[in-house]
Amino acid sequence: MPNDFDIIRLTIQYLDAHDDSHPELANVADAIGLTPHHLQNAFSRWSGINPTLLLCYLAYSPSKQATIRRKLMVGSQNMITMLRFGEINNMKVLLTLRDSDHPSVVDNIQYGFHETLFGRCLLGVTNHELCWLSFAEQNDGDSLYPLRAQWPNASLCPKDIYTQRFADLLAHKVSSQTHDLPILRLYGTTFQLQVWRQLMGVPFGMFTTYGHIAQTIDNPRSARAVGSAIGANPISYFIPCHRVIRNTGEIGGYRWSTETKRALLAWEHAQHIAK
């Protein structure tokens, strides 16, 4: 039986294949092999809003969704001001330069696969700090390849007890205590760290563009390089690269899959509706 997040992604795939701006929940359920009751419950559990509202949003035409996103574009005045790159979203974020002079700054990584609000995810920690989060859209062995490629000289050890705390945060099961903030550790080049720092300033439920980030880091001609840096983001969701879209409002690319990016954005949209 697919988990709730997989059901959302299957729904998106179905809607993409059928040009129907007013789909019936029963028809969608039948097409993806579920009962209407099961689909309705999955929508409610996952989004926290009326299943019909969620289905309507998912069924919006690309142009209508793009129009909605353009209205939620964040300007420089709306970016979260970070006087120091420290606490955000009840987490402490630390930056470490990784370049040709310091290629191997991580020796050991403990990793774990976890079922979360956003499907099965792979998390990696070093020294109790989160350094990797990806969506396990393939089998576990294949899902480890990007982590191994990121740190080819590091020793990888399956220890999900070390990653459970961060998985719980991803599943929104617990809230962090201010006296013991979980730590995210970003390793990257000077340029990558500049870009990732800007990502942390995009408010929940809002969007920015590749070009806007390029302008913010005083390098307006670097939009393509910004896209590459965003694609290399090693900590998905917590470093919200899914909130970066094209100037037109189209969602653009994503390191994992477009269905995953659209589902993440749909969930954030649902949380605004729920409020």
Summarised one tens digit per residue, pLDDT across range 135-191 is 998 899 999 999 999 998 899 999 999 999 999 888 665 444 445 678 999 999 999
Both tokens of residue 274?
């729920």
Q: What is the pLDDT of residues 22-36, one digit of tens each?
A: 899 999 999 999 999
**pLDDT class for 83, splitting at 50, 70, 90?**
very low
How many Å apart are CA 204 and CA 190, to the nearest integer? 25
Predicted confidence at residue 221, as pLDDT, reads 87
**Residue 83 shares a structural domain with residue 205:** yes
Domain enclosing residue 107, as ranges:
76-245
Predicted confidence at residue 10, as pLDDT, reads 94
Predicted confidence at residue 100, as pLDDT, reads 59
Asked if pLDDT for residue 103 goes beyond 60, the answer is: no
Both tokens of residue 249?
């409002």
**Residue 205 shares a structural domain with residue 270:** no
**Residue 18 shares a structural domain with residue 62:** yes
How many domains does the chain divide into?
2
**Residue 147 shares a structural domain with residue 238:** yes
**Confidence (pTM):** 0.89
Stated length of the chain = 275
Write the CATH number for 30. Answer: 1.10.10
**Residue 134 shares a structural domain with residue 166:** yes
241 noted as active-site residue: yes
**Residue 43 shares a structural domain with residue 62:** yes
Write the CATH number for 126. Answer: 1.10.10.10
**Residue 161 shares a structural domain with residue 67:** no
Cβ-Cβ contacts under 8 Å for 59 (sequence gap 6 or more): 15, 20, 21, 22, 23
**Residue 135 shares a structural domain with residue 238:** yes
**Burial of 189 (C-beta count, 10 Å sphere; 0-12/13-18/19+):** middle
* CA 218 distance to own-chain centroid: 25
**Residue 31 shares a structural domain with residue 119:** no
Q: What is the pLDDT of residues 60-72, one digit of tens each?
A: 988 999 999 998 8
**Residue 211 shares a structural domain with residue 117:** yes
**Residue 28 shares a structural domain with residue 101:** no
Predicted confidence at residue 76, as pLDDT, reads 57
**Residue 26 shares a structural domain with residue 116:** no
Predicted confidence at residue 204, as pLDDT, reads 86
Per annotation, catalytic residue among 121, 131, 157, 241: 241
